[in-house]
Structure 1
């Protein structure tokens, strides 16, 4: 293991903070990295809870002032795992302080904030400071393999993209109001929270971007019980009082890609029985691909050139050492899980920082995706097609 270190400060320690902590702990123990991540400090608003998180998740120290963390000489990376309304302020300040930045998705709550962040990242890059937005699903080995197959021309010209992200964690109208259901904190609902993932994943696989959209948004439950502060997705109700839900519960939209493909996207947190179903199917002139995160180690591939007597979708178990990221883990057939994509993200980020190259997805990529989300919102209001 290398002795050269990279000090990490993580801002936020709830659901995403736990996933990122796992990644920083594990990455240098399974992958040969040019710099060894050191979990220097975790930062949160509440002293007692942050100290408990530091002890539980493996951080050396706890802090409550993220601005003071930026002044520390033992910190080279700021990992932002906070709600979207704080991303811009923290990221811009961290980049100005010369810290590399990994920021959770979506990049920001508005296009204007994302533009400011992308501009700050471009200025910082000129001084050798790197920035990346955390769209982890693109680092699931099966989806990385899908990108390789498309890039190699195995699908020919892509005609259709279908993508769904289905959850059910707020189907119950008694589920408490959390920050994810408040536009001023989250920016948007299902569209930005989970829809952003399938937009990024499909653009990543195709190596193409969405150029226009036509969408609709729906809020099924407009009032919910007020919730206490919490560390999970749904919180704990504290009274009989209610508050307004100011984001969408579901988003559906059509899309045209710059390369000519048509897309159909669905993101909902009201799909009863679906806990974290990400389904992507891509149809091309020479073949098709299909993926479902509920079977995340498998990619289905149809070769349109096969003889009709034996043609059919091929089930590829993506656990071979030749597959993306897999050679660092277990023997073939021993599947990976949700947390491994975060480890792969940390690995790619560290390697880019050490090499002095721009990691992907960049803040510029995050801005482009933010414009897609904004175009869907505008389309839902105007009921017309909108350019990205």
Structure 2
């Protein structure tokens, strides 16, 4: 890789993984330069273990080449950025190797499957950053314009002191107990279930919106369907179907987090409520272009939540898209993510959220598991302030 003080004119990008997240990230890489001014880059190579499948995906998603061994990609001088969309159990090995090879790394959440892996990855990111190599965790909901606006309003003090946060991320794709076994239901490949998969998003939003730190955690997890049909017959499910947590924050605020993959009728419902002494904010992913805002300092006869339609050029990211009144969707969050990542590389600054931020979330997830195993004991945390928050 070219040294930081002599960056390449065009960044060569490699993507590892081609399934659900590979498709979402590829869409972002394919479109980001059409809407945002970003450094020049080239979609060089897509990596996957199945040659035929990755070749088909690469042709469809705009990648020029394919490879079946990610290690060969790290040896190439024309690859400067590695976007990792592989399953969580592969994150640590690939990300650490890529950083040590001098490649900038964009990594899908959660950071890792275990706390030990996450700590090793944060250490590798810190060492690479000292050499001008950047890394970022893909918590894409930070790039929802409505939530970015919510962050601005909270930071401006529009809610005053925040007292209470509610975060609920509910899905139903495991509600059918006859549904087949997948790698997401095995601890050795997934790390955890709903906890790591979607509670990581909800917890990251609490930290992102408030700019706060978690001091104490109590939690519970539960598996409703303990066996599912697989190649070997009925196989044991070794991760959670749902999880609940109460987070005590350094500011004195309390956050409740609830996640489930068996919530019948809920397809991909992320709801966030932030209540402060001067106002409140409501968000629902199913109405992604709207934000509810209450000004509690207004006269009582005028109070009530008002709907802010997020489509004005003054709203975060929206000036790049369509005229007022025209909405955007879930896939645009990944475009915003790639845009921010590329601009940080060009500026030589740490993109957010950092691997340290991902480690902070991992510590909280681990504390929820520890509390659940201990039957609701309180787990105390003493995290250093997260970088890039």
1:271 matched to 2:266: no
Deviations 1:214-251 (A, max 9, x none): 1100000011111xxxxxxxxxxxx5812111100000
Q: Of the candidates 134, 138, 144, which is equivalent to residue 140 of structure 1? A: 144
For 2:43 and 2:205, locate their aligned partners in 1 and report how far apart those are by CA, in whole Å. Answer: 29
1:385 matched to 2:378: yes
Deviations 1:174-199 (A, max 9, x none): 11111111111111000100010010
Q: Of the candidates 5, 9, 12, which is equivalent to residue 10 of structure 2? A: 5
Secondary structure at 2:58's aligned position in 1? helix
1:212 matched to 2:216: yes
Measure how far apart 1:209 and its partner are: 2.0
Deviations 1:232-288 (A, max 9, x none): xxxxxxx58121111000001111111110011100001111100000000001000
For 1:210 and 1:270, locate their aligned partners in 2 and report how far apart those are by CA, in whole Å. Answer: 27
Q: Of the candidates 328, 335, 349, which is equivalent to residue 320 of structure 2? A: 328
Q: Of the candidates 297, 309, 314, which is equivalent to residue 317 of structure 1? A: 309
Secondary structure at 2:208's aligned position in 1? helix
> Corresponding residue for 2:344?
352
> Corresponding residue for 2:66?
62
> Corresponding residue for 1:116?
120
User: Any unmatched runs of 5+ in structure 1?
Assistant: 227-238
Deviating beyond 6 angstroms after TM superposition, the runs of 4 or more aligned structure 1 residues are none
For 1:69 and 1:225, locate their aligned partners in 2 and report how far apart those are by CA, in whole Å. Answer: 37
- Matched pairs, number: 373
For 1:340 and 1:356, locate their aligned partners in 2 and report how far apart those are by CA, in whole Å. Answer: 24
For 1:270 and 1:382, locate their aligned partners in 2 and report how far apart those are by CA, in whole Å. Answer: 24
For 1:358 and 1:240, locate their aligned partners in 2 and report how far apart those are by CA, in whole Å. Answer: 46
> Corresponding residue for 1:98?
102
Secondary structure at 1:338's aligned position in 2? coil
Q: Of the candidates 277, 280, 283, which is equivalent to residue 285 of structure 1? A: 277
> Corresponding residue for 1:28?
33
For 2:12 and 2:303, locate their aligned partners in 1 and report how far apart those are by CA, in whole Å. Answer: 52
For 1:268 and 1:110, locate their aligned partners in 2 and report how far apart those are by CA, in whole Å. Answer: 20
> Corresponding residue for 1:361?
353
> Corresponding residue for 2:3?
none
1:184-333 matches, cutoff 5 A: 184-226=188-230, 241-333=233-325
TM-score (norm 2): 0.95
For 2:363 and 2:84, locate their aligned partners in 1 and report how far apart those are by CA, in whole Å. Answer: 21
1:159 matched to 2:163: yes
For 1:37 and 1:145, locate their aligned partners in 2 and report how far apart those are by CA, in whole Å. Answer: 29
Secondary structure at 1:109's aligned position in 2? coil
Measure how far apart 1:37 and its partner are: 2.5
Do the aligned partners of 2:206 and 2:255 also contact (CA within 8 Å) in 1? no
For 1:171 and 1:79, locate their aligned partners in 2 and report how far apart those are by CA, in whole Å. Answer: 32
User: Any unmatched runs of 5+ in structure 2?
Assistant: 1-7, 382-389
> Over aligned residue pairs, what C-alpha RMSD do you find?
1.0
> Corresponding residue for 1:81?
85
For 1:202 and 1:146, locate their aligned partners in 2 and report how far apart those are by CA, in whole Å. Answer: 11
Q: Of the candidates 368, 371, 377, which is equivalent to residue 363 of structure 2? A: 371
TM-score (norm 1): 0.95
Secondary structure at 1:312's aligned position in 2? coil
Deviations 1:37-89 (A, max 9, x none): 31100000111111111111111011001000001111100111011111000
Secondary structure at 2:302's aligned position in 1? coil
